[in-house]
Amino acid sequence: MQDAPVTTRAERRAQSDLAEAKPHGWALSLWARAYRRLARPWDVDKHVRRFCQPMTIEGEGNLHQLDNPLLIIANHTSHFDTVIALSVLPPQVRGRTAIVAAADRMYRERLKGMLYSLRYNAFPITRGGGREALAYSQWLLHNKWSLLIFPEGKRSRTGELMPFHGGPAILALGQHVPVLPICIKGASDILPPGSQRSRPAPVQVRIGKALTFSEGTSIPEAKQAMEEAIRALMPAANEN
C-alpha cells in the first residue's frame, strides 16, 4: 500500500483557495468598469502594440452591429490570447465582456486572481465543476454581459485545435445568444505555454460570422458547429 502524498501547508492553503475560488462580484461594479476603461491603454493596447508585430485582422466587418449579450469563442494556444481577443472587440461589447478563466491556472494566488479580475473582468471556473461552474456564466449572459471563453478548456501545445467542451454549447443554447468565433494565430510565439517572458511575434486574427442556433438544436450539434466555425478560420498549411 502506497503512502499518501505529503503536502506542505502552502500547498494545502493553495488547494483550499482553489476550492473556494468564487467570482469577484465587485468586478462588475461601476468603479471597476471605469478602471478598465481608463487602464485599457496600458492593460490591453500597450501589450498588443509591443508584442503583436505586426497584427493583421481579417473579418472586421463581422463585428458590425453586434451587441450584448454575446458568447465569444476562440482557439487557445497562449495566455496572450485574452488581450488579443479583447483588443479586436468593438467598444460596446468589450465594455461588458467577462473572461472565463481556469481557477487552477489564473487563481492559484488570491491577490493575483483579484488583479486579474480587476484588469480583465475575469472570473474563476473550476474544471469539471458541472452545473455550478456554469451558473455564474448563465447569470452574466442573462444580465446582458458577454463572455469570452476558450472552448478547448486548456492551451494547445501543438497549435492544433483540440476537441471542444460542452459548456459553451450549453450556454449558447440555454441563453439563446449568438456565438462569435475568433481564430488567433501567432500568440504561442509571443508567450508559449511554460514561458514566463513575452517576445514580439507576428499575429493573425480572423473573425467569423456570428452563429445563431435554431430551436431544437442539440448540444452535440451546437458544439460541432462551434468547433467547425473556428476550424474554418484557421490558416491552411500553405499559409503558414
Cα 111 from Cα 15, distance rounded (Å):
15
The residue written with cell numbers 468589450 in the block is 94
Q: Rounded to 10 degrees, what is the CA torsion of 230, 33, 44, 232?
A: 10
How many structural domains are present in the chain? 1
The pLDDT of residue 236: 73
**How crowded is residue 228: how many other Cβ atoms within 10 Å of its Cβ?**
14
201 within domain boundaries: yes
Are 36 and 121 contacting, i.e. CB atoms less than 8 angstroms apart?
Answer: yes
CATH number where 58 lies? 3.40.1130.10
- Domain-embedded: residue 25: no
Q: By residue range, what is the domain housing residue 127?
A: 40-157+165-234
Q: What does the pLDDT read at residue 129? A: 59
Domain presence at residue 113 = yes
Averaged pLDDT, groups of 10, the chain, 240 residues long: 44 44 89 96 93 96 95 96 96 95 84 93 79 85 97 92 95 97 96 86 97 96 98 77
Q: Could you tell me the pTM of the whole model?
A: 0.87
Q: Is residue 15 part of a domain?
A: no
In a domain, residue 1? The reply is no
Residue 136 domain flag: yes
* Model pLDDT, residue 132: 66
| Sequence-separated (6 or more) residues with CB below 8 Å from residue 20 | none
What lies within 8 Å, CB to CB, of 238 at 6+ separation is none
**Per-residue pLDDT at 22:** 82
Residue 5 lies in a domain: no
Strands of the sheet with 179-185, listed across from one edge: 52-58, 201-207, 179-185, 71-74, 146-149, 97-102, 122-125
Whether 24 is covered by a domain: the verdict is no
Q: In the prediction, which pLDDT does 17 show?
A: 44
pLDDT confidence of residue 125:
87
Cα within 13 Å of Cα(144), Cβ side: 5
